[in-house]
């Protein structure tokens, strides 16, 4: 049953990532280059915050099913390292070094801070 919860959460997370990327593309249409990694950044940061909330609120040993649903499933489907890496690859090919460093730092530093903030909010 736990695997089914992980699959359900993953589907919902992936769908939300798809929607967030579409909204981001419409908001920034015509203003900057396409595929500028903002949609992936937003998805990754939201997932980090939700993981923080989940580890803060789902620490009990009997919460395994909820952790599978929220952390492995939902946050796993919402966040995406492979898209992040592909977007970096494209920016490196275009020699957009400042953007490569900036997006990398935002994903790593802000993601970690948001995970901590989510945890601190619940724990």
Q: Is 76 annotated as a binding residue?
A: yes
CA 90, CA 84: separation in Å to the nearest integer?
10
Q: Is 21 annotated as a binding residue?
A: no
Residues that constitute the known binding site for Na(+): 76, 79
Residues that constitute the known binding site: 76, 79
């Amino acid at each position: 049953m736990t695997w089914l919860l992980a699959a359900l959460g993953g589907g919902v997370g992936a769908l939300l990532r798809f929607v967030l990327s579409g909204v981001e593309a419409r908001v920034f249409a015509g203003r900057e280059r396409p595929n500028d990694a903002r949609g992936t950044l937003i998805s990754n940061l939201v997932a980090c915050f939700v993981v923080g909330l989940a580890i803060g609120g789902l620490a009990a040993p009997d919460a395994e099913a909820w952790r599978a649903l929220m952390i492995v499933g939902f946050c796993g489907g919402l966040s995406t390292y492979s898209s992040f890496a592909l977007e970096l690859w494209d920016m490196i090919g275009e020699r957009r070094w400042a953007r490569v460093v900036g997006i990398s730092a935002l994903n790593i530093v802000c993601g970690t801070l948001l995970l901590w903030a989510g945890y601190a909010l619940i724990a």
